[in-house]
Chain A
Amino acid sequence: MTDQTAFHSGLLNPAAPVPDGLTDAQARPAGWRYGVYRNNVTVSLREALAEGFPSLVGLIGRENFDHVARAYLRQSPPTSPLMMHYGAGLPEFVASLDQLKHLPYLADVARIDVAMRQSYHAADSTGIDATALQTPDEEALLATRFDFAPSMILLRSQWPIGTIWRYTLRGGDKPSGQAEDVLILRAEYDPKPFVLGPGAGDVMQALQNGASFGTAIDQGGEAFDLAALLNLLLSQQAITGLNH
């Protein structure tokens, strides 16, 4: 009998023998015929990962990516039929690989790939109108807490991840050595990563954690540009509600 434990045990292990009880039409051992399933599984998971990680593919090249993907999918096959979520653990896996230690920013750039996909499939929402923030009552405004779009994702890094991501996929300015916080925003259906100015990452983190507007902007420091951040959030429909 060839139960599914036997059948599946060799799918992700190329060294495993072909399970017993599988044949061709002449009752000869299945051989490569089983290999077709093994190959289909590996290729389909690898292609799904490559599609989900365009910047990682760009940074290390497709051949290297395929090696990394193969190792990852054998260690961490999907646990859900929703392939749109597969690969969320790949950045951490990349960070653990000795062969890639010389590229310490890779995992954080790969986190942009994960977050872009997550944002793409997030629930729809409508941003508030800019006039909602125009109030004569400054004290009330400072006590306000913001609701944000489910498609908004903040990524903080000690590496210039936004510039590396853009340079890898779109060309443009060569990355410098500066740390960057990236805010992924989706005004309609296409998420975009925005590199935040100084202090804005601290402010956004505080706001996301439920701090009031006044408490959060106190985290920004001297170089923080409040107008620029509010302009970005409003233009990208990122603030979805105000809690007074």
Chain B
Amino acid sequence: MPDATHAFPHLPNLPGVGYKPQHFSEILADPSPVGWLEIHAENYMGDGGRPIAQLRVLAERFPISVHGVGLSIGGEGRLDSDHLARLKHLCDWLNPASFSEHLAWSTHDSHFFNDLLPLPYTDATLTRVADHIDEVQTVLGRRMLLENPSSYLAFAESTWSETDFLAEIVRRTGCGLLLDVNNVFVSATNLDYAPQGYIDAYPLDAVGEVHLGGHDEDEDDHGAPLLIDSHGREVVDPVWALLDYTLAKSGPKPLLVEWDTDVPDWPVLADEARRAASALTRVLA
């Protein structure tokens, strides 16, 4: 039985932030710009201690999104059944408003790389990812959202566009999607296409959550811009513009500001959440 006494059945169409323990007191004192919180599942898989105690308190006040970063759904091997059981345990006691994971892999030959690694988009990988999502949804007993990656390179063997690949996964598995507009902007820059075209081709009906985050700038071997998804700074203006473009087509969605490295003081993150709130206000106007 879930022990969260206030179960929030879904994420509201409000801004949320990626939860960082250093913001605990300030969020509770004045949660005003934030309507929900997202946690990385793997940080709450210890046996006890402060992380889980804080999460119990937060879950009484906020809808919680559990965002996995280690399941390796795009992996060639079988899903790690121990890890899936840990996710089930977390989702069972917390009863989160949402669970999401990535279109990526991170484990191979039992080695975990702590990064979201890319996969080619082919009939074979589509079948494998869809099978893995079926297994996750069956074990967890809930629908999951799948997030589009940031891409730094392309696979010569890919035969599907990313948007068609995602749409087909949704059709086969019934899962929802987590649309990361910063990842769209990063991938579009790195692989030389128009980010608005990606949004036009993307199955927006399936979106249950939108991510925003900051990126770094680098160059490839030919001097072309290469953006790196770092979650270490403010969201840039072109990504806010892409959010407006997206929301105009999709209608309001739960919006999450991610900031995972060089985590700022709470007022800076709260300002980013307020900016997301104003984007939602614009789409409702």
Q: Chain B interface (Cβ within 8 Å of chain A)?
A: 42-43, 45-51, 53, 69-72, 75-76, 80, 83, 86, 105-115, 117-120, 152-157, 190-193, 218, 220-222, 224, 226, 228
| Residue of B whose beta carbon sits closest to that of A118 | B46
Q: How many angstroms from the CA of A3 to the CA of B128 in the assembled complex? A: 13
A-B contact pairs, 26 of them (CB 8 A): A2-B157, A4-B117, A4-B119, A5-B109, A21-B120, A21-B155, A23-B153, A24-B153, A24-B192, A25-B191, A25-B193, A26-B192, A31-B220, A33-B190, A36-B228, A37-B118, A45-B114, A77-B113, A81-B69, A82-B70, A120-B50, A121-B46, A121-B48, A122-B46, A124-B49, A150-B47
Indicate which residue in B106, B154, B193 contacts A81 across the interface (CB closer than 8 Å): B106
Q: Which residues of A contact B226 (CB under 8 A)?
A: 32-33, 36
Interface residues on A, range: 35 or more
Q: Check A4–B108 contact: CB distance below 8 A.
A: yes
Flag A74-114 by CB within 8 Å of B: 1 or 0 each. Answer: 00011111111000000000000000000000000000000
Candidates A30, A32, A79, A122; contact of B48 at CB < 8 Å: A122
CB-CB < 8 A to A1: which residues of B? Answer: 120, 157
Which residues on B sit within 8 Å (CB–CB) of A77? 111-113
Q: A22 near B: Cβ within 8 Å? A: yes
How far is A30 from B110 in the complex, measured between Cα atoms in Å?
26
| Smallest CB separation, B129 vs chain A (Å) | 13
- A40 at the A/B interface (Cβ < 8 Å)? yes
Secondary structure at the B interface, as helix, strand, loop or mixed, is loop
Asked if B155 and A2 sit within 8 Å, CB to CB, the answer is yes
Picked from B42, B106, B190, B220, the residue with its CB within 8 Å of the CB of A82 is B42
Q: Does any Cβ of B come within 8 Å of A16's Cβ?
A: no
- Please measure, in the bound complex, the distance between the C-alpha atom of A200 and the C-alpha atom of B42, giving whole angstroms: 37
Given contacts A4-B76, A121-B48, A122-B46, contact A37 B221 (CB under 8 A): no
Contact (Cβ within 8 A) A22 B154: yes
Type the 1/0 row for A175-188, where 1 means its CB is closer than 8 Å to any CB of B.
00000000000100
A 36-89 contacts with B by CB, 8 A = 36-37, 40-41, 44-45, 48, 77-84
Q: Is the CB of B113 within 8 A of A41?
A: yes
Residues in A with CB closer than 8 Å to B154 are: 22-25, 27, 30
At the interface, yes or no: A194 with Cβ under 8 Å from chain B? Answer: no
CB-based contact A41/B47 at 8 Å: no
Which residues of chain B are near A33, meaning CB under 8 Å? 152-153, 190, 220-221, 226
Chain A residues contacting B72 (CB-CB under 8 Å) are 81
| Other contacts beyond A82-B86, A120-B46: 20, CB < 8 A | A2-B156, A4-B108, A8-B113, A24-B154, A24-B192, A31-B220, A32-B221, A33-B153, A33-B226, A36-B226, A44-B114, A44-B115, A78-B113, A80-B83, A80-B112, A81-B112, A82-B42, A82-B45, A121-B47, A151-B49
